[in-house]
Chain A
Amino acid sequence: MIRLLGRSALSIVYELGEITLFSGGALFAFAGQKRRLGKLISALHELGARCVPIVAVVGLFTGLVLGLQLYYTLLKFGSQGVLGTAVSLTLIRELGPVLAALMIVGQAGSALASELGIQRNDEQIDALQTMGIDPKGFLVGPRLLAALLAFPILTALFDLIGIFGGYVSGCVLLNLDSGVYWSGVFESVQWSDVRGGFIKSLAFGFLTILICTFRGFHTHRKSSARGVRGVSQSATWAVVWSSVVVLAADYVITSFLI
């Protein structure tokens, strides 16, 4: 039993070391690559632009539901006037960064892990190596940097659309005064709230895309199955663990920010 625990602990430490070296190696190698801007823009399109519709839709419905639930809860205490405050702070501090990250992982992270897994199986990663191109710098580096740019922007989009959704629920559907709603939003949101959400989205972006690329890149070593099943295992593992890490990191960061 003790041996098993020790082996598991060592394995986790080894994996963490490996993933740290992987991220460092990818960013360092990317710095030495040619045509960096083009690769970064392409990665931004993949992680950012393609995720805009899903982030917008989920943001809208989250805001709508939040507006509805909070309105009736606050009504019990006769304080429905603080709906704008409640919706905006809930979104900016918590739900925005977490849900936007989970949506991006579902949309782009799984695709990323699968794509790299297929490239590994088809020897495209080996081909890069034989061409003298560092595969980590070429395939992983731009995506890690793009995640640092795309996640905060998409989180901001999620927050804005969510706050608008709260307005639709509270003011358009339930007849709350729109001036009360918006003044609640503008007066309660502080720079520290925005900064906290920004820090979270940066951390979630780096961690989730790192997990997805690491797993996809090492499909041949980390999956128990080969070929197509190995790729599907990688994609599933990447999405599940990215989601777990988002929630765990959210707790850790929140405890430091509060």
Chain B
Amino acid sequence: MAETFLKIQGLHRHFFENRVLDGIDLEIERGKVTTIIGKSGMGKSVLLKSIAGIVEPDAGRIELDGRPIGVSRRKATAEEGVRFSYMFQGNALFDSLTAYENVAMPLRESGGLKRSEIDTKVRDLLEQLDLTDAAKRYPGELSGGMQKRVAFARALVIDPDLVLFDEPTTGLDPERKFGVFELIAEYREHYGFTAVLVSHDIPEVFKISDAVALLDRGKIRFFGEPAALEMSASPDVIEFLQRANVGHAKGSKMMETEV
């Protein structure tokens, strides 16, 4: 049986009158890809940012590898030997730094490796991701797909145990979206990290997902395998999948009966 790597209990977060997260309970298994889906504005990114420590929850507990993590969670987790990365929706690359410098940044600033070791590691990763020619170019000089790969390389350079992906395919055409999903699946297999994705690309994202969590009105309405989601009898799931134009076994039958 797979081991729980990330455990979220009773997570609450509100913005003014809006309860975005209203008691989230979630257990994510080690080495698996878990995708958080839901309608826009339902708090998927807030949940991801709460895990990363960018948004401070009002209440609740987050445990990473069995240890509760608090306010300065990024630093605390690093000290405890758990490394995690965050890939932002808009990539969040530094415009004034080259692709190479962007990728090298987490290593340079952590100060754990020698300059030559950093150089070797960054060049290897850029080569693996077919970015060697882009190393000296600035983000503004790269295509959207290349920028995604640079952001992905920056996320991978620290050998993370957990990678959080916030809508990693935003702004890409269908072919490139598929490429990004393949990249995530391939590197997760290679490096063995645990991945948590927020995505709107349904059902494409199901191909690489081991588990899916449906977030709606502040709560997790479904958690399980993608196949189970498509078979679920939950009205929330049926409504969501129909809105997302995804074939749903029970939903389709209900529609046929209504007709």
Chains A and B come from one and the same complex: yes
Is residue B144 within 8 Å, beta carbon to beta carbon, of the partner chain? Answer: no
Tell me, rounded to whole Å, the shortest Cβ–Cβ distance linking A230 to chain B.
16
Interface string of B27-55 (1 = CB under 8 A from A): 00000000000000000000001001110
User: Taking CB as reference atom, which chain B residue is nearest A137?
Assistant: B109
Is residue A76 within 8 Å, beta carbon to beta carbon, of the partner chain? Answer: no
By size class, the interface of chain A is 10 to 19
Partner-binding segment picked from A10-18, A128-136, A183-191, A232-240: A128-136
Pair B92/A122 contact, Cβ less than 8 Å = yes
Is residue B78 within 8 Å, beta carbon to beta carbon, of the partner chain? Answer: yes
A interface residue numbers (CB < 8 A to B): 33-35, 122-124, 126-127, 129-133, 138
Query: Which of the residues A35, A124, A130, A132 comes within 8 Å of B54, measured between beta carbons?
Result: A130
Residues of A close to B86: CB separation below 8 A: 126-127, 130
Interface string of B158-202 (1 = CB under 8 A from A): 100000000000000000000000000000000000000000000
Pair B54/A129 contact, Cβ less than 8 Å = yes
Is residue B207 within 8 Å, beta carbon to beta carbon, of the partner chain? Answer: no
Interface string of B54-74 (1 = CB under 8 A from A): 100000000000000000001
In the bound complex, CA of A130 to CA of B84 (Å): 8
B interface residue numbers (CB < 8 A to A): 49, 52-54, 74-75, 78, 84-86, 88-90, 92-94, 105-106, 108-111, 158
> Main SS of the interface on chain B?
mixed
Pair A132/B106 contact, Cβ less than 8 Å = yes
Residues of A close to B88: CB separation below 8 A: 123, 126-127
In the bound complex, CA of A132 to CA of B85 (Å): 10
Tell me, rounded to whole Å, the shortest Cβ–Cβ distance linking B95 to chain A.
8
In the bound complex, CA of A133 to CA of B85 (Å): 12
Residues of B close to A132: CB separation below 8 A: 74-75, 78, 106, 109-110
Pair A34/B52 contact, Cβ less than 8 Å = no
Pair A131/B105 contact, Cβ less than 8 Å = yes
In the bound complex, CA of A123 to CA of B45 (Å): 12
Residues of A close to B105: CB separation below 8 A: 131, 133
Pair A133/B109 contact, Cβ less than 8 Å = yes
In the bound complex, CA of A220 to CA of B132 (Å): 36
Pair B92/A124 contact, Cβ less than 8 Å = yes
Query: Which of the residues B74, B108, B109, B110 comes within 8 Å of A130, measured between beta carbons?
Result: B74
In the bound complex, CA of A132 to CA of B79 (Å): 10
Q: Which 9 A-B pairs have the closest CB atoms?
A: A127-B92, A130-B86, A123-B92, A34-B111, A131-B106, A132-B74, A123-B88, A126-B54, A133-B109
Pair A34/B108 contact, Cβ less than 8 Å = yes
In the bound complex, CA of A127 to CA of B52 (Å): 10
Tell me, rounded to whole Å, the shortest Cβ–Cβ distance linking B35 to chain A.
19
Tell me, rounded to whole Å, the shortest Cβ–Cβ distance linking A91 to chain B.
36
In the bound complex, CA of A122 to CA of B106 (Å): 18
Pair B90/A123 contact, Cβ less than 8 Å = yes
In the bound complex, CA of A101 to CA of B207 (Å): 59
Q: Can you show 17 pairs from A to B with CB atoms below 8 A apart? A: A34-B109, A35-B109, A126-B49, A126-B88, A127-B92, A129-B53, A129-B54, A130-B53, A130-B86, A131-B85, A131-B106, A131-B158, A132-B78, A132-B106, A132-B109, A133-B106, A138-B109
